[in-house]
Structure 1
Amino acid sequence: MKIRRFSGANTREVLQNIRNTLGPDAVILSNREVDGGVEIVTAIDFDEKQWEASSQPSLAWPESLLADAEPRSRAADGTGRGPGAAGDNERTTAISGRSKPQGGAKAAPAELAHLHSELNALRRLVEARWGGTMEQPSRERFMDLGFSAEWAAQLAELGSGELESALQEGLGGRLSIAADPLGKGGVFAVLGPTGSGKTTSIAKLAARQVLRHGPRSVALMTTDTYRIAGVEQLGIYGRILGVPVDVIRSPEDLLCALERHRDRTWVFIDTIGMSPRDPRLEEQLHWLGDLGSKVRKLLLVNAGLSGKSLPAVLSPYLRLPLDGAILSKVDESPAFGAALEWLAEQSLPLCFFSDGQRVPEDLHSARWEAIIAHMLAAEHGAAMAAPAQYRYHALKQEECIA
């Protein structure tokens, strides 16, 4: 068995270097953060029997473990000093930083036993995380992102072993993205359960169009007369944006308001959020259903909903012909593969996703590279906010004027 140490700026770069250098049979022994990046110790031609033998008290430290632990070239100054020359006593084995026994001394049995146990634990971790190889992300890793076992198994077979490319290929082939969600105008109703962020999403949509086309192009409406301060919240956004806000209490109110604002290019309707078993929800869905294709209906899906909660909470809205979906609270959701999977199964195109409360900066047109970046950031426990350069690029591309 030969041991090699690799270092680089980040884990992904080092793993790619390991794959290119040692191939798929390399075993990760340890990893740690160092100045300027990370360091990973690997082994090739792994021989577990050799390690088992090395744990016997009567055996000296195996020289084969040290041969390639930290390769050194002979000194460039012409002295010809090699690894065994004076001054080389600091050479280590690359496993947990332990020093090579000097002068033929035997390694302590307790230390060897600890190393053996540590190595086996690391091997089990690698096998559980990457399916036993460094080439193929395991089904369990995709399940950690929120996908079902069936989807996880399918995704694990894609992307030539790279998690990001597997997500890009798998999601891109199953879930469509709306190219121009708001088009050249129309009436848009945002539907969804209570607490999913409808009012804030309506404000973000309206603010985008106000910044692009001016306040005279937009009108707001709300049917949320049951929630305390629901009307007031949207009214505050309306005053800030300089657009009218109409309160809808009946189907007749809705028809009259639409007629009153027929000269507005974009009309956004904030709907009431209720329990799926509340009869008032059924009544409101009938209002919108009677308008047919005059109103485009966007379903707001909380990214944090689990696979079991999604159908129970969102099924009532499937009675209407939906035109698309908005994925909300991406920044609050550590794993939202279940929400993406549910949208794909309903053949609902994804229009926008939101990753914060700021209006309108934290609403983005759906793009797989940005969505997948959020998924991977959540997997590694990183901050969910997108980097500044991405925010600038998104705002510039979507023609939002600060």
Structure 2
Amino acid sequence: MKVKTYQAADSEQAMRMISAAHGPDAVILDCKSIPGGVELVVSWEEPDHEEENFEPVVHLRRDAPAATGEKTALAALLARQRKSAPTPQRAEPPQPAEPARQNIGSAPQMVWSQQEELLTLKQELASMKSMLMSQLKDQNWQQLRQEAPAEQFACQQLMEAMDLDPALAGKLKERIPADESESVQREMLKMLLCRKMPIAAPPTSGAICLVGPQGAGKTTAIAKLAAQYVMAHGRDGIAILTTDTARVGAQEQLRAYGRILQIPVHSAQGYEEAARTFKVLQNKSLVLIDTAGMSFRDKEGLRELETMLSVMPNTRVFLTLPADTESYVQSEIIDAYSRMNPEGVVVSRIDEAMRLGAILSNLITHRLPAVWCSNGPRVPQNLSAADAGKLVNMALRMAKGFAPGKSAAPASQGAGATRLSVMG
């Protein structure tokens, strides 16, 4: 493929020249307004024996003869684009050929409007995916309602109000006898969830690294852990290491906590500096490592983070998972960070969540234990060791406000729905 740039007084002259030189096979790669006219970048296929891949820029004078015949649709489109562009106050001669060749490159440059369109398209696709996942969950719940005995209607609606995963709810339903009363079914559901919920004891020494997406609460959790350690063991055996150089203010936030607690806070940029700093801190009883937030879609960023962790041996990794995100997003975060072998989860942003069934379902399904729970921004009060009973009780309390079954339940089952709304 060969590429060539044409500069002319208007689009009609440029199209006439392109048609005469290359015929109908030429492809328009780019079109933009320049002082004194327009510039078009075209490409076409040539035999392999051609030596040059780029042709010099061709200029057309403003006084060149006008194009004859009917205008093509492409020419009309280019004319509209030229009219919508701001008109220069003073005509200047066309740009020289060599700078134009430098702007061509091996591929056409992407303009800002195209980038905004791509961002809009990504947002629309994400919204569409969220809608489809929600519809799929609704269909699964409808299927479970049809299969559930009438005696289990209240328990079924309670699990749906908690926002449990339908697949997990189906397994729990099989363990709950249908001939028991609603209160007994509720207590059995609570007992089953507590048994299935994986919990791990939080470590109190060694190197602890928190990873997770942007805004999950890693830095605040690091500050809470540091404050709790200082209150229990003093400030001599602890240090903080941050590798988050991307987010503005991340290091300053930790340094502010470090000054308050009177503990050292170190920052590292790059693998070598992180390895050197980590080696110096080996004499500390507890080293808390903060990392940059990475989206589960950022494959390159996750690989870099994995490499960063590899230079800090014997570091225990914990995933910071926000409880207020959608269930399928939580699942994708867990899958993306599984390459780092996290030992457990910091359940964060519980105070921002409407329901906790999604986080319970994902931890049970992925068999990833909860280690800490963060239920607010206060340091150090709003961080505690994970407790299955407290999480399940909180999930049941949150489910009361959703009035389960009122819109989806048949009229004959309305009494059961009413009983459930006051059952908690």
Cα displacement (A) at 1:158: 4.5
Deviations 1:328-369 (A, max 9, x none): 111211212222221222221111111111111111111122
Does the 8 Å CA contact 2:241/2:289 hold for their aligned counterparts? yes
The one-letter amino acid paired with 2:391 is I
SS of 1:204's equivalent in the other structure is helix
SS of 1:285's equivalent in the other structure is helix
Corresponding residue of 2:337: 317
Q: Aligned partners of 2:153 and 2:331: how far apart in 1?
A: 31
The one-letter amino acid paired with 1:250 is G
Deviations 1:153-201 (A, max 9, x none): 23345566546533443223323211x3114x10000011011111111
The one-letter amino acid paired with 2:352 is E
Q: Aligned partners of 1:269 and 1:330: how far apart in 2?
A: 22
Cα displacement (A) at 1:266: 0.8
Corresponding residue of 1:186: 206
TM-score, length-normalised on structure 1?
0.58
Cα displacement (A) at 1:138: 2.6
Corresponding residue of 1:284: 305
User: Where do 1:2-401 residues align within 5 Å?
Assistant: 132-133=150-151, 137-158=154-175, 161=182, 162=184, 165-178=187-200, 180-183=201-204, 185-278=205-298, 279-292=300-313, 294-381=314-401
CA RMSD across the alignment: 2.4
Corresponding residue of 1:16: none
The one-letter amino acid paired with 2:305 is Q
Cα displacement (A) at 1:218: 1.2
Does the 8 Å CA contact 1:168/1:372 hold for their aligned counterparts? yes
In structure 2, the gaps of 5 or more residues are 1-144, 403-424
Does the 8 Å CA contact 1:139/1:155 hold for their aligned counterparts? no
Q: Aligned partners of 2:190 and 2:238: how far apart in 1?
A: 35
- The number of aligned residues is 251
SS of 2:283's equivalent in the other structure is coil
Distance of aligned partners of 1:290 and 1:170 in 2 relative to their CA distance in 1, 3 Å threshold: farther
After superposing the two structures, state which structure 1 stretch, 210-219 or 156-165, moved more. 156-165
Corresponding residue of 1:44: none
Cα displacement (A) at 1:262: 1.8
Cα displacement (A) at 1:136: 6.6
Q: Aligned partners of 2:376 and 2:185: how far apart in 1?
A: 25
Q: Aligned partners of 2:312 and 2:264: how far apart in 1?
A: 21
Structure (1/2) with the larger helix percentage: 2
Distance of aligned partners of 1:207 and 1:163 in 2 relative to their CA distance in 1, 3 Å threshold: farther
Q: Aligned partners of 2:332 and 2:279: how far apart in 1?
A: 36
- The structure with the largest alpha-carbon Rg is 2
Does the 8 Å CA contact 1:168/1:368 hold for their aligned counterparts? no
Q: Aligned partners of 1:349 and 1:312: how far apart in 2?
A: 17
SS of 2:335's equivalent in the other structure is helix
Distance of aligned partners of 1:195 and 1:155 in 2 relative to their CA distance in 1, 3 Å threshold: same
Q: Aligned partners of 1:211 and 1:167: how far apart in 2?
A: 38
Does the 8 Å CA contact 2:194/2:388 hold for their aligned counterparts? yes
Does the 8 Å CA contact 1:330/1:354 hold for their aligned counterparts? yes
Distance of aligned partners of 1:164 and 1:262 in 2 relative to their CA distance in 1, 3 Å threshold: farther
Distance of aligned partners of 1:380 and 1:187 in 2 relative to their CA distance in 1, 3 Å threshold: same
Does the 8 Å CA contact 1:136/1:157 hold for their aligned counterparts? no
